[in-house]
Amino acid sequence: MKLGIIVGSLRRESFSRKIAQNVAELFPKGIEAEFIDIDLPMYNQDLDDDGTPPQAWTDFRAAVEACGAYLFVTPEYNRTITPLLKNALDIGSRPYGQNVWGGKKGAVISVSPGAIGAFGANHALRQAVVFLDITMLQQPEMYIGGVTKLLDGEGRVNEGTGAFLRKFAEQFTKFIGG
């Protein structure tokens, strides 16, 4: 199975990307984890209606459609997901009736330097993907707070966080049938 990993941050030193890279290594053989780029032009329905969607949208939709499940790893901006991630969700769900996300499974890990682990972003994403027909893993919930204290200089997580991520990867693997 191909697992699409979608990181809601473009920062060079993105904490979300570092956590995603740590998790990607934990999936067993048989699950091919692939990072899907979401640095996309903003969605404008006129381009779909005119039959002139940007190639980046077409490529993104194909990459999403090729996956059997998705792992979203997101920071929190103002108690919600990043505009980057919301735009990707919209592009994949349009034009109307051509939702490439639908009927698949997913999970979310939210990441923050703050204490509450991007709780708002985690739940905002869950709210959006329900409409997109992505069935989300419910447990374990993954809020990673204080992330700056959990990563070393190479972006590797400490032992306790590694154990937490392993438990998550095992549960997600069972959930998606891997």
CATH number where 132 lies: 3.40.50.360
Q: State pLDDT tens for residues 50-62.
A: 999 999 999 999 9
Enter the tokens of residue 53. 């969607």
The closest alpha carbon to 63, from 91, 44, 96, 87, belongs to: 91
Report how far apart, in Å, the C-alpha atoms of 166 and of each of 27, 98, 169, 176 are.
Answer: 9, 34, 5, 15
Percent of the chain with pLDDT over 90: 98
- The answer to whether the beta carbons of residues 23 and 137 sit under 8 Å apart is no
Q: What is the pLDDT at residue 26?
A: 97
14: pLDDT confidence band, cut at 50, 70 and 90?
Answer: very high
Q: How many CB atoms lie within 10 A of CB 115?
A: 9
The mean of the pLDDT values for the chain is 96
**Residue 178 pLDDT > 90:** no
Mean pLDDT of 14-30: 97
Write the CB contacts of 8 (distance below 8 Å, at least 6 apart in sequence). 16, 38, 72, 73, 74, 75, 81, 82, 84, 85, 121
Number of independent structural domains in the chain: 1
Q: CA 30, 168, 22 angle in degrees (round to 5)?
A: 75
CA distance 49 to 170: 42
142: containing domain: 2-176
**Residue 117 pLDDT > 90:** no
Helix axes 159-176, 15-24, angle to 10 degrees: 60
- The answer to whether the beta carbons of residues 133 and 101 sit under 8 Å apart is yes
Helix axes 119-131, 83-93, angle to 10 degrees: 10
- The answer to whether the beta carbons of residues 108 and 142 sit under 8 Å apart is yes
21-25, 88-92, 106-110, 115-119: least confident range: 115-119
Map residue 120 onto helix, strand or coil. helix
Mean pLDDT of 6-10: 97
- The answer to whether the beta carbons of residues 72 and 8 sit under 8 Å apart is yes
